[in-house]
Amino acid sequence: MSAYISDIAAAVVTALNGPPSGEEFSQEFTAERVYVPESDYSGVTELQVKVFARAVERTNITRSRTAGIRKDLEVAVTIAQRIGTPTDPTNPAKCAELDDLMELANEFADYITSNGPYATYPILRLDIDPIYDFEILRTHRVFVTALRCFFFVA
């Protein structure tokens, strides 16, 4: 893996695990950098935050052969947590736990976009996609969301 890829992913982990004094997230967690994200969330019991490089896009800056190549890196941050039995995703009156997890995702999004650059690379944009995975929530009672962070490398 190229140094910039691991450097940016590691910088995101460091930033999430150590926000500046006076800034806190609404829930306790320890972010981890991984190469392969979870594929089966049935075993998730506590809040998990995983960071991994997802894709690199290379684009010719112009049509000329002598032009440079622009590289953009996508780093994903996933949040996963099993929901308790009082939570009912189909009943709006019983979704406070899900609201709290959605709030955490939005806290991450605001924090990541406003506290760059990471390893000297600026963040271009951040998408939350999916906002949460309906199927995993329905079948495993695990809330899963993904933040897709796009960085300008060169």
Q: What is the pLDDT of residue 116?
A: 79
CATH of the domain at 75: 3.30.2000.30
Q: Is residue 77 within 8 Å of 15, Cβ to Cβ?
A: no
Q: Is residue 142 within 8 Å of 132, Cβ to Cβ?
A: no
Asked if the model's pLDDT at residue 64 lies above 70, the reply is no
Q: How far apart are the C-alpha atoms of 146 and 128, rounded to whole Å? A: 6
The domain total for the chain is 1
Range(s) of the domain holding residue 75: 3-152
3-state DSSP call for residue 16?
Answer: helix
Mean pLDDT computed over every residue of the chain? 89
> Closest Cα to residue 86, out of 76, 97, 75?
97
| Residue 76: HSE in the Cβ half-sphere, 13 Å Cα cutoff | 20
Chain segment 79-128, per-residue pLDDT in tens? 999 988 877 888 877 888 899 999 999 999 999 999 878 989 999 999 99
Q: What is the pLDDT of residue 90?
A: 80
Prediction pTM value = 0.88
